[in-house]
């Protein structure tokens, strides 16, 4: 940014403060819009503190951060779509969430009432960004798919067998979850929070409870903290098992795919018997479960580990499988950092960031971060292998600390809960952050910024230059959920 | 109807699910449940399908695509709502961009498989009953 533009731009503080945080290596948690015209960004610093930077819209406009921080491109488009605030200077303001079916004056996050909406009877497709030129073909896929997959619409620009550009049109599954959470009480919001996403539900539950407890000033008993670690790590194993089983399917390695799915099923059945739900929906809200089931969990771990070693051997020794994954869907370190990649995708590019190292919940644990550098499908596969084994170790450690009756009878959610809280956790799909604003026990604003949301633009970047036929493989190596991105 | 007793080809459309129903449908294809050995399968085109499995509360963006897929399924056909959201009793049915269930957009489903998400065994049992009815 030149000196001249520093002087001219009334928002230079907003832009410069955010740039300084990025330069300092802070982790960007969320960019949140509010009905009163405020825009806030929250940064997680290396010392674990959360810093807030804010600006206010003038004439429904605010200065876009995207030219300096490309990772916020989607967030600003979303604010534009849902609030009607214009991010001035944004290089690509095509609709992201809204569709031509939405009434022109309809900005759902501005709306106070739940009036019936008159959707326009047209196709929901938004303009696609494609590459034009001789020999280039455009291939559209979705939103419905040939198998059992979440809905998403992809527009590929292809030359020969290679992808030049992928324009991902997500938000087909946009239900309006954040708006649906408004005006609910903490109790009423719980089941909705659990169901933001079937793959990262525990992480969402944790963030919600963490936000509520920050405002209520609750000192969470250590036994309950150990249980939360068990739940978060159990979910990580479940999700990684799913992804590890899906990657072999991308190259036709059916044995590893089927045995991987069977292993996932075994783990999932076990979790269901212990925590009462196959996906751990609402599991963290019940605080007295794990101790009585300690032995059951130890047995499950023991039989799981036997299966795991067998499966790892099968996957490890197939050199053809690994050759097939190497050099495919590469995201280099610099690109991963600039695009705001998180989770497995970031660590596979050689960046040692895992926010569990900053979460107070894990203060008694040493978090091992896999040292992998390739940034390709193989690297993402290897990171997951190591993380499953580390999660097993974390669960074992937590089980050793679980003893006695840890029910916290003194705790109940205060009726008059008021304030704003930001919470985060490392979901199986990477950094997941929530921002909650609540007044007298009623939610005013709830914003969810999931790991998948952050990584979708990274996936689109990763597939460029690769063969079209490798898209399923690259896609599976990210295995991003649509639901917690679309909300 | 004799042929339908021997097989049930299903097409799946996600109309706003949280992906838990998808994971359970995927579990049907695992070697443990293996729906194919009962003559049930997930097919790639609605034109090959006897039944449509819908998950999710039907988001507005997915509504036109869902309608097109349903129109493409040849008659006689079965509409199956998989999970509470598609059945109209899920947690997001009142969200602004959700139509609140498959019956609001297409027609009353022939079968409704409740659960959030329904167990894969339950889905399998319902599909087998439907195939043999």
Reference B59, options B90, B24, B87, B95; nearest CA is B95
Give the residue from chain B lying closest to A483, CA to CA. B18
The DSSP 8-state label assigned to residue B119 in this structure reads P
CATH number of B2-118: 3.40.50.12280
A280: nearest CA in chain B?
B20
The answer for A 40-99 residues in CB contact with B (under 8 A) is 99
pLDDT at B1: 46
Tell me what ipTM this predicted complex has: 0.92
Q: Which of A56-65, A104-113, A410-419 has the highest mean predicted lDDT (pLDDT)?
A: A56-65
- pLDDT single digits (tens) A382-431: 999 999 999 999 999 999 888 766 667 778 888 899 999 999 999 999 99
Closest CA to A454 of A478, A438, A477: A478
Angle between helices A222-249 and A294-317 (to 10 degrees): 30
Tell me the C-alpha distance between B16 and A150, whole Å: 8
Give the domains, in start order, of chain A with CATH numbers: 3-126 (3.30.460), 129-169 (no CATH), 177-471+482-486 (1.10.645.10)
Q: Chain A interface, mutation test: which of B17, B18, B98, B106, most A Cβ atoms within 10 Å?
A: B18
CB A446 within 8 A of CB A41: no
For chain A, what's the residue count? 487
Please tell me the predicted confidence (pLDDT) of residue A112.
65
Tell me the per-residue pLDDT of A253-271, one tens digit each, with 9 for 90 and over: 999 999 999 999 999 999 9
* Residue A76 to chain B, least CA–CA distance (Å): 20
pLDDT category at A79 given cuts 50, 70, 90 is very high
Size of interface A-B (CB pairs under 8 A): 137
- Given its phi and psi angles, is residue A419 left (phi above 0), alpha (psi -120 to 50 degrees) or beta? left
Residue of B nearest to A188 (CA): B91
CA A72 to chain centre: 14
Nearest Cα of chain B lies from the Cα of A431 at a distance, in angstroms, of 19
Q: How many CB atoms lie within 10 A of CB A419?
A: 12
Is there a contact between A98 and A81 (Cβ–Cβ < 8 Å)?
Answer: yes
The pLDDT tens digits of the residues spanning A338-393 come to 899 999 999 999 999 999 999 999 999 999 999 899 999 999 999 999 999 999 99
Q: How far apart are CA A458 and CA A165, in angstroms?
A: 12
Question: Are the beta carbons of B31 and A101 separated by less than 8 Å?
Answer: no
Q: Which residues contact A376 (CB under 8 A, 6 or more apart)?
A: A325, A326, A327, A328, A329, A330, A348
CA distance A102 to chain B (A): 9
- String of DSSP letters for A258-310: HHHHHHHHHHHHHHHHHHS-TT-TTGGG--S-GGGGHHHHHHHHHHHHHHHHH
Specify the pLDDT at position B25.
95
For residue A376, the Cα-to-chain-centroid distance in whole angstroms is 20
User: What's the gap in Å between the CA of B62 and the closest CA on chain A?
Assistant: 6
**Contact present, A216 and A441 (Cβ < 8 Å):** no
B96 CB neighbours in chain A (<8 A) are: 108, 111, 114, 117, 176, 179-180
Torsion of CA A70, A75, A81, A86, to 10 degrees: -60
**Greatest extent of chain A over all pairs of C-alpha atoms, in Å:** 71
Query: Does B27 reach chain A within 8 Å, measured CB to CB?
Result: yes
Contact between residue A164 and residue A158 where contact means Cβ atoms under 8 Å apart: yes
Q: What stretches in chain B show pLDDT beneath 70? A: 1-5
Q: What is the pLDDT of residues A270-284, one digit of tens each?
A: 999 999 999 999 999
Residue listed under structure tokens 């633009």: A457
């Amino acid at each position: 940014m030149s000196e001249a533009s520093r002087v001219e731009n009334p928002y230079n503080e907003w832009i410069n403060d955010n740039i300084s945080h990025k330069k300092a290596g802070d982790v960007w948690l969320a960019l949140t819009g509010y009905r009163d015209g405020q825009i806030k960004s929250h940064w997680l610093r290396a010392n674990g503190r959360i810093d807030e930077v804010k600006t206010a819209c003038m004439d429904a406009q605010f200065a876009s951060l995207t030219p300096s921080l490309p990772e916020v491109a989607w967030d600003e488009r979303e604010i534009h779509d849902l609030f009607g605030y214009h991010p001035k200077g944004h290089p690509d303001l095509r609709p992201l969430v809204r569709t031509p079916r939405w009434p022109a004056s309809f900005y759902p996050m501005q709306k106070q009432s739940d009036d019936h909406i008159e959707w326009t009877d047209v196709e929901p497709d938004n303009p696609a960004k494609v590459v034009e030129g001789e020999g280039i073909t455009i291939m559209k896929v979705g939103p419905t798919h040939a198998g059992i997959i979440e809905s998403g619409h992809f527009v590929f620009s292809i030359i020969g067998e290679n992808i030049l550009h992928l324009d991902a049109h997500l938000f087909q599954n946009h239900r309006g979850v954040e708006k649906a959470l408004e005006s609910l009480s903490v109790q009423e919001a719980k089941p909705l929070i659990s169901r933001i996403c079937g793959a990262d539900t525990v992480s969402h539950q944790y963030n919600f409870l963490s936000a509520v407890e920050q405002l209520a000033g609750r000192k969470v008993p250590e036994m309950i903290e150990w249980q939360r670690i068990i739940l978060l790590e159990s979910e990580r194993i479940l999700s990684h098992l799913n992804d590890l089983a899906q990657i072999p399917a991308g190259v036709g390695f059916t044995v590893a795919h089927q045995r991987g799915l069977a292993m996932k099923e075994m783990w999932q059945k076990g979790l269901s018997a212990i925590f009462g739900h196959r996906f751990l929906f609402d599991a963290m809200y019940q605080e007295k479960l794990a101790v009585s089931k300690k032995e059951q969990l130890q047995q499950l771990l023991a039989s799981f580990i036997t299966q795991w070693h067998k499966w790892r051997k099968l996957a490890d020794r197939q050199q053809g499988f690994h050759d097939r994954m190497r050099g495919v869907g590469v995201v280099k370190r610099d690109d991963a950092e600039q695009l705001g990649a998180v989770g497995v995708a970031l660590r596979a590019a050689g960046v040692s960031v895992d926010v569990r190292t900053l979460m107070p919940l894990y203060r008694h644990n040493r978090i091992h971060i896999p040292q992998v550098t390739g940034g390709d499908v193989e690297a993402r596969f290897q990171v997951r292998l190591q993380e499953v084994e580390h999660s097993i170790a974390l669960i074992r450690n937590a089980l050793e600390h679980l003893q006695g009756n840890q029910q916290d009878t003194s705790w109940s959610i205060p009726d008059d809960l008021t304030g704003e809280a930001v919470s985060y956790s490392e979901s199986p799909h990477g950094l997941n952050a929530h921002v909650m604003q609540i007044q007298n026990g009623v939610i005013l604003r709830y914003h969810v910024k999931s790991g998948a949301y952050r990584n979708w633009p990274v996936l689109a970047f990763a597939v460029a230059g690769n063969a079209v036929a490798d898209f399923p493989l690259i896609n599976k190596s990210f295995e991003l959920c649509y639901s917690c991105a679309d909300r | 109807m004799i042929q339908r007793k021997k097989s049930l080809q299903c097409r799946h459309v996600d109309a706003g699910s949280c992906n838990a129903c998808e994971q359970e449908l995927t579990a049907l294809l695992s070697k443990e449940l293996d729906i194919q050995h009962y003559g049930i399968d997930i097919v790639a085109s609605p034109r090959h399908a006897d039944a449509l499995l819908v998950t999710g509360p039907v988001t507005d963006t997915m509504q036109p695509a869902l309608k097109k897929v349903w129109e493409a399924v040849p008659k006689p056909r079965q509409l199956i709502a998989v999970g509470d959201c598609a059945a109209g009793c899920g947690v997001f049915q009142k969200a602004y961009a959700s139509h609140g269930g498959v019956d609001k957009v297409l027609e009353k489903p022939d079968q409704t498989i409740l659960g959030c998400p329904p167990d894969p065994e339950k889905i399998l049992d319902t599909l087998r009953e439907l195939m043999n009815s």
